[in-house]
């Protein structure tokens, strides 16, 4: 159960427009006090997300072009660039070198370079970045094209090594962690390498599940409890730390 002592909760990566009732999903975040970054998979989806988020205190809409859709939608980078000045939040973007999407990997890299260089030129963006089977290349590209003085990256569902985590920290990156990443001992041990001062929470809903149903932003409390258990800390204290991390991240690009 969510602790009344910790508000707002933080879901820094959730696909609110993929729930059956998009407007109701946004309204629930607002009602339940969950700071939610509503990521989009194409720039065409961003205006409606922004329209719904603009009337809220807790929801923000991120401008995305998902690497898994680049094969069909890479031309939408033109629209993405047109919309970029209207938001501080970018995502979901990045690279996916999994077998299903590897055929488009070179084009994904071209699009990601355009994303990073555009964000660097703007110098006030926060990105939530996908890096499936492409950790080193993603970090190489961030290092080359988006220095920490020009923007901030939150690595979504990051599965890099301890050395890659240290490198990401040196590049100014944060990490967003969901309950599924902490679901078994092997995964949990890997997540202990994330410095708590650089950790945010996420659900990646509706692609994760809480019990028999798709996870919702308020279920992010499960990630808070998982992190608390992992580090031997009180869940309310961890929740407050996550909130402080969010504030620090936002202050860094303001």
Q: Residue 192 to residues 106, 152, 170, 182, 237: CA-CA distances in angstroms?
A: 33, 22, 17, 10, 17
92 is in an annotated binding site: yes
Give the pLDDT score at 188.
Answer: 78
Give the pLDDT score at 78.
Answer: 98
Q: What are 95's two structure tokens?
A: 């690279």
Neighbours of 63 (CB within 10 A): 29
Give me the residues of the chain with pLDDT under 50, please: 1-3, 5
Tell me the whole-structure pTM to 2 decimals: 0.96
Neighbours of 211 (CB within 10 A): 7
Give which of 175, 180, 174, 176 is closest to 215, Cα–Cα: 180
15 is in an annotated binding site: yes
13 is in an annotated binding site: yes
Q: What are 110's two structure tokens?
A: 């071209």
Which of 145-179 are b and which e, b meaning 16 or more Cβ less than 10 Å from the residue's Cβ? Answer: bbeeebbbbbbbbbebeeebbebbbebbbbbbbbb
- Helix then strand then coil, in percent of the chain rounded to 5, is 55, 20, 25
**DSSP state at residue 35:** E
The CATH architecture annotation of domain 9-252 reads Alpha-Beta Barrel (3.20)
- How many angstroms separate the CA atoms of 35 and 29, rounded? 7
What are the pLDDT digits (tens) for 172-223? 999 999 999 998 777 777 888 999 999 999 999 999 999 999 999 999 999 9
204 is in an annotated binding site: yes
In DSSP notation, 150-217 reads GEEEEEET----HHHHHHHHHTT-EEEE-GGGGSSHHHHHHHTTS-GGGEEE---TTSSEETTEE--G
Q: Residue 206 to residues 112, 123, 210: CA-CA distances in angstroms?
A: 24, 31, 10
């Amino acid at each position: 159960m969510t602790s009344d002592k910790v508000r707002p909760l933080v879901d820094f990566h959730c696909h609110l427009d993929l729930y059956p009732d998009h407007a109701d999903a946004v309204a629930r975040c607002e009602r339940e006090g969950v700071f939610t970054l509503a990521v989009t998979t194409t720039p065409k989806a961003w205006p409606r997300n922004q329209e719904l988020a603009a009337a809220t205190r807790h929801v923000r809409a991120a401008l995305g072009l998902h690497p898994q859709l680049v094969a069909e939608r890479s031309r939408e980078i033109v629209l993405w660039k047109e919309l970029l000045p209207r938001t501080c939040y970018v995502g979901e973007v990045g690279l996916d070198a999994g077998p299903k999407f590897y055929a488009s990997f070179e084009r994904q890299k071209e699009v990601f370079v355009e994303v990073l260089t555009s964000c660097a030129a703007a110098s006030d963006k926060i990105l939530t970045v996908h890096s499936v089977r492409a950790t080193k290349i993603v970090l190489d590209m961030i290092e080359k094209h988006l220095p920490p003085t020009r923007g901030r990256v939150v690595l979504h569902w990051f599965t890099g090594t301890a050395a890659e985590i240290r490198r990401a920290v040196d590049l100014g990156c944060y990490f967003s962690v969901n309950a599924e990443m902490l679901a078994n001992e092997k995964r949990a041990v890997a997540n202990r390498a994330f410095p708590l001062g650089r950790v945010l929470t996420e659900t990646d809903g509706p692609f994760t599940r809480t019990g028999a149903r798709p996870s919702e932003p308020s279920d992010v409390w499960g990630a808070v409890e998982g992190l608390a258990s992992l580090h031997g800390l009180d869940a309310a204290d961890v929740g407050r730390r996550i909130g402080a991390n969010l504030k620090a991240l936002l202050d860094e690009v303001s």
